Structure 1
Amino acid sequence: MQQEVFLITIGDYMHVSKSSASNIIKKVSSALALLALSYIMMPRNENEVSFKRIQFYNKASLPRVIGSLDCTHIKIQSPGKNNAELFRNQKGYFSINVQTVSSTDLKIMDLVARWPGSTHDQTIFDHSNLKRRLENGEFGNSLLVADSGYVNTQHIITPLLTPGNEVEQLYNESVTRTKNPVERQYGVSKRRFTVLALGLQLKLETAQTVIVAVGVLHNIAIDKREQEPPLDQEVNLANIIYVEDTEVDPPDHNINNAREILLNEYFPASVRERREI
């Protein structure tokens, strides 16, 4: 209903019908989505990888990190047909589960917007081109930091659910602060483009296109140093922006994953340095 009112308002302002306004939005969104490869990108060379590592290290002294990984649910109308229920997430509404990787300046470096709301975050990553690129060594031994819904690997690190000593507590603190950009990115983009928070009453394919188009616009806004939108006092976005699916820490099948290496080699030295100060 809110989106219909929006289309009517835009149509009246531009002196076109609601259907014309809808068609224009669809065409413009498609044109913007075609620009995704030019505006949404992971580091392209060793210099850019090194620069991202420095940016993330400066946040919380976590080495080798080039991005913050997570998923967020974008509400949609029922897509209908036989697979409609696949889009109903665990909170009971229809959604697309959107995966993004954020940089420290909140730019979107990778975006996947094609999975139903019932899909687990780990499943989306497992089937992503990004995972293949990481495993193929395109970014060297770089890391992505994620929440405990992901499996720890040589390229993904997550926090410990129950840190038991000073080393583990320092690690968790560093991971939490380093992961913050992707959470802030969701908050900023959903305030800047409230349709992402309120929901898309569009056909499934069009909704997916709009999500990608908004990702392009979000990055352009950051490039142009647009001011972050303030918290909306009239529309309570808190529950939609920040409440995500509750996850549990999956078992680690590989004792040589990056988290174990950091806990055994890097953070003990960091704790010793902290004690000496």
Structure 2
Amino acid sequence: MGPVRGIRKRRKTEKSLDNNGSGSGSGSGSSEKEGVVDWWDELSKKINGLQKSPLKISRKTFEYICSLVKDDITTKSAHFSFSSGKPMSLFDQVAVALRRLGSGDSLVTIAESFGLSHSTVSQVTWRFVESMEERGLHHLQWPSTQEEMNAIKTKFEKIHGFPNCCGAVDATHITMCLPGTEYSSNVWLDYKNNHSMVLQAIVDPDMKFRDIVTGWPGKMEDWSIFSCSNFNKLCDKGERLDGKVLKFSEESEIREYIIGDSGYPLLPYLIVPYEEKELLKSEAKTQFNKLHLETRMVAQRALTRLKETWRIIRGNMWRPDKHRLPRIILVCCLLHNIVIDMQDEVKDELLCLYHHNHDSGYNQLVCEDADEKGVALRESLLSYLNGRLHS
């Protein structure tokens, strides 16, 4: 799956939701709002006795997600019901789907907690995924205005001084459980002897995904996936990272770029750390690497938060459909971005616990490819940052 771009923003629905999760043409009155609160409290008690945020999101964010998928879920012909015979409302269906994506629990476990059959949980979740793929895509796009890009560059520079930086790239493995008898299982076997699929993400300073690539087998190296990406091709054509160039001296200029770890090549628009052998006699380069690491840490935090919040992609997925898995990953990324866009409160205590290790068990592979223009840009950045430190 290539990066998502060029998606037109959809108009927010103006219809309110009644306490059954149905559409209503009237304004939202107090009785409707009270109905939603009661439903939310009931859900909180139903799921493991939790009293707050049973779905890891706020009530406001939940209602917004419902408004996105409402038309698809309420107009399609399928009718789902609980074991008691009670029909499932829009709220019920969205709650089940979010619980499945957020907990990573089995279909049977989810079904038992809601009083449903496991096949209903599967169908409801997939209908939600299909709807979110279309209705939520405007939450994952490359900045479309210079004003938006300038805000991103300003925030990155405030972290540790990197000017004109537009994003941080990183990749993570989504592990799967595939039987060895499956004819295609070896295709997905990575260098750690796990079956996995890779997610590559370019992240902004707010930990929001701006571009993703997924669907490639876990055996592929980070640099290979990046080189195959549409983002890289657009950069090569001069159609991305082609904004204002900064000139801070007659000899040095700094174009737009992103940063990544040593698993990526040094390119005119992708800056990676200096190799260990280059640090032995250079305190300036050692300091550069330190600031580079602390700046790109935002990508590691984003992927850690993604996998801790939407746990269906955190652990081993049992015999997933390889055609559906990239779509599930995409929707988890959309939900991650929606939480940020809605300014929802997200608690990141777990990030410290896991030390931002979103890819436990996988070692850092090193790509030694270096483009001449990339070398020149990194030297310009080194000079700029060194000048700031000693000014």
Alpha-carbon shift at residue 69 of structure 1 (Å): 0.4
TM-score, normalised to structure 2, is: 0.63
The residue correspondences of 1:26-175 to structure 2 (distance < 5 A) are 26-35=126-135, 37-78=137-178, 81-137=182-238, 138-140=240-242, 141-162=255-276, 163=279, 164-175=281-292
Matched, 1:215 2:333: yes
Change (3 A) 1:111 1:36: farther
User: Deviation digits for residues 56-101 of structure 1, max 9, x if unmatched?
Assistant: 1111111221111011001122287543212111111111111111
Q: Which residue in the other structure is 2:295 paired with?
A: 178
Whole-angstrom CA distance in 2 between matches of 1:124 and 1:267: 27
Most deviating of 139-148 and 241-250:
241-250
Change (3 A) 1:125 1:75: same
Whole-angstrom CA distance in 2 between matches of 1:237 and 1:61: 23
Question: 2:268 is aligned with what amino acid?
Answer: Q
TM-score, normalised to structure 1, is: 0.87
* Structure 1, gaps ≥5 residues long: none
Whole-angstrom CA distance in 2 between matches of 1:93 and 1:269: 43
Question: 1:88 is aligned with what amino acid?
Answer: L
Instruction: Answer whether contact 2:161 2:385 (CA < 8 A) is retained.
Output: no
Q: Which residue in the other structure is 1:275 paired with?
A: 390
Q: Which residue in the other structure is 1:204 paired with?
A: 322
Whole-angstrom CA distance in 2 between matches of 1:64 and 1:134: 15
Give me the identity figure in percent.
20
The root-mean-square deviation of aligned C-alpha atoms, in Å, is 2.6
Instruction: Answer whether contact 1:88 1:118 (CA < 8 A) is retained.
Output: yes
Change (3 A) 1:151 1:245: same
Instruction: Answer whether contact 1:87 1:117 (CA < 8 A) is retained.
Output: yes
RCO higher in 1 or 2 (8 Å CA, sep ≥ 6)? 1
| Secondary structure at 2:372 match in 1 | coil
Question: 2:263 is aligned with what amino acid?
Answer: G
Whole-angstrom CA distance in 1 between matches of 2:169 and 2:187: 23
Question: 1:226 is aligned with what amino acid?
Answer: D
Question: 2:310 is aligned with what amino acid?
Answer: F
Matching residue within 2, 11, 23 for 2:123 = 23
Whole-angstrom CA distance in 2 between matches of 1:175 and 1:240: 19
The residue correspondences of 1:185-264 to structure 2 (distance < 5 A) are 185-201=302-318, 202-231=320-349, 241-252=359-370, 254-257=371-374, 259-263=375-379
Whole-angstrom CA distance in 2 between matches of 1:198 and 1:250: 31
Instruction: Answer whether contact 1:188 1:229 (CA < 8 A) is retained.
Output: no
Instruction: Answer whether contact 2:264 2:272 (CA < 8 A) is retained.
Output: yes
Instruction: Answer whether contact 1:191 1:231 (CA < 8 A) is retained.
Output: no
Change (3 A) 1:87 1:170: same
The structure having more radius of gyration, on CA atoms, is: 2
Whole-angstrom CA distance in 2 between matches of 1:127 and 1:195: 26
Alpha-carbon shift at residue 121 of structure 1 (Å): 0.9
Q: Which residue in the other structure is 1:12 paired with?
A: 112
* Structure 2, gaps ≥5 residues long: 1-102, 243-254
Say how many residue pairs are matched: 270
User: Deviation digits for residues 195-223 of structure 1, max 9, x if unmatched?
Assistant: 22113222112221111110010001111
Instruction: Answer whether contact 1:76 1:95 (CA < 8 A) is retained.
Output: yes
Whole-angstrom CA distance in 1 between matches of 2:317 and 2:291: 36
Most deviating of 124-133 and 194-203:
194-203
Give the ranges of 4+ consecutive aligned residues of structure 1 lying more than 6 Å apart after TM superposition.
235-239
